[in-house]
Structure 1
Amino acid sequence: MSVRARFQETATELASAPVVELRGVSRIYGRRLTEVRALDDVDVAFSAGSWTAVMGPSGSGKSTLLHCAAGLEKVTGGQVVLSGQDITGASDAELTELRRRTVGFVFQSFNLIGSLTAEQNVAMPLRLAGQRPGRRVVREALAAVGLADRARHRPRELSGGQQQRVAIARAMVTRPAVLFADEPTGALDSRSARGLLDLLRSMVDDEGQTIVMVTHDPAAAATADRVLFLRDGRLVDRLERPSAHAVADLLASWES
């Protein structure tokens, strides 16, 4: 095989490799009589340019899965590969550096700094990484979420939907390989939630962004490409190209 052919083959393999992969992952809290198995031998991969929703009852391990996949929590057993790098045994310093380069995270509660403007909040990840953020980069991130005219507004001057868009701009300003979202529509009214989901959908379809989102809302889950269902720390079902009715019916079947 020629050098050129080998290079092309390697590039194809990298392009098709999962952005995030969990291999036999377990996460246990406590010891012996107080032991809680939040994740139990979970195998799952998240492909580039895909949107996966994660659902399940309270305490099923949804947020733990997100935190382990993002390197925010270390696993008890198994292996986590993030952006091609095995992070299972990485040090805290290594994990921090990798997250700054490859991971964006959005929370239900926005987690904006109230004393800072929208553009200052968006610039924060770059400053934490030791960079001097240019105004153009920050303004482009805000424009991408439809808030070009809100750059100088503080969080209290924005609606809930607008605050969450600022949070997404902040998460995306470093151009992460994967965006993790933990109940991103949970604090929003239905209209704001719909607008936010449309924004996430366009990020996947138009920009090839990889998104992993925890949600309890069947309508939100139906916007994703697939839905994974957790129960007692195990993956118990999945739906491809889901509809809100199919998601709701499957959740209801657990209660019957």
Structure 2
Amino acid sequence: MTAPQDTGTAPRRADLPAPAVELRGASRDYGSGQARVRALDGVSIAFAAGSWTAVMGPSGSGKSTLLHCAAGLEQVSAGQVLLSGDDITTAGERELTELRRGRIGFVFQSFNLIGSLTAEQNVTLPLRLAGRRVSGKQVRQVLASVGLDDRRRHRPRELSGGQQQRVAIARAMVTRPAVLFADEPTGALDSGSARQVLRLLRGMVTSAGQTIVMVTHDPAAAAAADSVVFLSDGRIADRALAPSAREVAERLARLEA
């Protein structure tokens, strides 16, 4: 059964915390005139604090666009984006840069580590770019939390793919962001490494109350999340709460058909 599109207009009780991130009637266009393409079409969705949501859909459905707009990497063409209740829709580039360095973490499929730097140096890079003091204890703690304290002096070429992705997660988490966005975080990993990363993400949600929004094409990865949102043609087409990998695959197949 197809889930209705959220309106984002219902009043919120004053005693309830604001969602970690929320889109209200968000649209994103590329190009203009007859060449205009609407990648995101009036999407309204709220991601609760301390939750893990997987975003899936056929190729071109708007998954990455939703992630980029929610993370402030791209601006919506219409609608609103709110981070912990703060409207960042019209934020300037300087303000968005500060948000990305402090309140938002981002993990990519390709790791995006700097090969000449050690794991420890890669993790501290966001803090150094922000002009913030780097605590050696804090860096060791975040590397220990991803199981890599004993690898902090290793460079990316000396680490496996799964270990490199864990360094990337540590780098995203060192600023203690309100939301961690992950774009295909297991897409470049073998099945064993992927399971390790998914267990790590689950622990971050369950033990530390981290909010995670993850785009994935892998039903097994999506099934590790608390809920799955399915997109089609830039709109929310379906939702599932704690589905199995088989159920995710079946719903995705129906959308692709």
Please tell me the TM-score bracket, short chain as reference.
Answer: over 0.9
Partner of 1:221: 222
Task: State the alpha-carbon separation in 1 of the partners of residues 253 and 56 from structure 2.
Answer: 13
Q: How does 1:186-197 map to 2 (within 5 A)?
A: 186-197=187-198
Tell me the residue number matched to 1:4.
Answer: none
Alignment correspondent of 1:232: 233
C-alpha distance after superposition, 1:227-250 (max 9, x if no partner): 000111111100011110110111
Provide the C-alpha distance between the structure 2 equivalents of 1:204 and 1:57, rounded to a whole number of angstroms: 27
For residue 255 of structure 1, report the CA deviation from its aligned partner.
Answer: 4.0
Aligned to 2:42: 41
- Report the counterpart of residue 5 of structure 1 in structure 2: none
The structure carrying a bigger helix percent of its residues is 1
1:220 is aligned with what amino acid?
A
Output the CA distance in 1 between the equivalents of 2:121 and 2:210: 24
Q: Does the 8 Å contact 1:52/1:227 carry over to 2?
A: yes
Give deviations 1:139-195, integer Å, cap 9, x for gaps.
111000000100000000000000000000000000000000000000000000001
Q: Which residue of 2 aligns with 1:59?
A: 60
Unaligned runs of 5+ in 1: 1-8
Q: Which residue of 2 aligns with 1:108?
A: 109
Count of residues in Structure 1 that have an aligned counterpart in Structure 2: 245
For residues 187-233 of structure 1, the C-alpha deviation after alignment (integer angstroms, 9 at most, x for no partner) is 00000000100000010000000000000000000000000001111
1:104 is matched by which residue type in structure 2? Answer: G
Could you say which residue in structure 2 is the equivalent of 1:6?
none
What is the CA–CA distance in structure 2 between the aligned matches of 1:227 and 1:58, rounded to whole Å? 16
Output the CA distance in 1 between the equivalents of 2:120 and 2:65. Answer: 30
In structure 2, C-alpha distance between the alignment counterparts of 1:105 and 1:196, rounded to whole Å: 15
Quote the offset at 1:101 in angstroms. Answer: 1.7
Distance 1:83 1:175 in 2: 14
2:123 partner letter: V
Residue 100 of structure 1: how far off its partner (Å): 1.6
Residue identity (%)? 73
Read off the aligned partner of 2:209 and give its amino acid letter: G
So what's the TM-score if we normalise by structure 2?
A: 0.93
Q: How does 1:65-76 map to 2 (within 5 A)?
A: 65-76=66-77
Q: For structure 2, which runs of at least 5 residues remain unmatched after alignment?
A: 1-12
CA–CA separation in structure 1 for the residues paired with 2:171 and 2:21: 21
The offset of 1:98, in angstroms, is: 1.7
Contact 1:49 1:204 in 2 (8 A): yes
Question: Amino acid of the residue matched to residue 86 of structure 2?
Answer: Q
On the 8 A contact 1:56/1:62 being kept in 2, the answer is yes
User: What is the alpha-carbon distance in structure 1 between the residues aligned to residue 100 and residue 168 of structure 2?
Assistant: 16
- Supply the distance in 1 between the matched residues of 2:104 and 2:94 (Cα, whole angstroms): 15
| Equivalent-residue separation in structure 2 for 1:157 and 1:175 (angstroms) | 27
Contact 1:83 1:102 in 2 (8 A): no
1:19 aligned partner: 20
Matching of residue 154 in structure 1 with residue 145 in structure 2 = no
Residue 201 of structure 1 aligns with an amino acid whose one-letter code is R
Q: Secondary structure at the match of 2:116?
A: coil
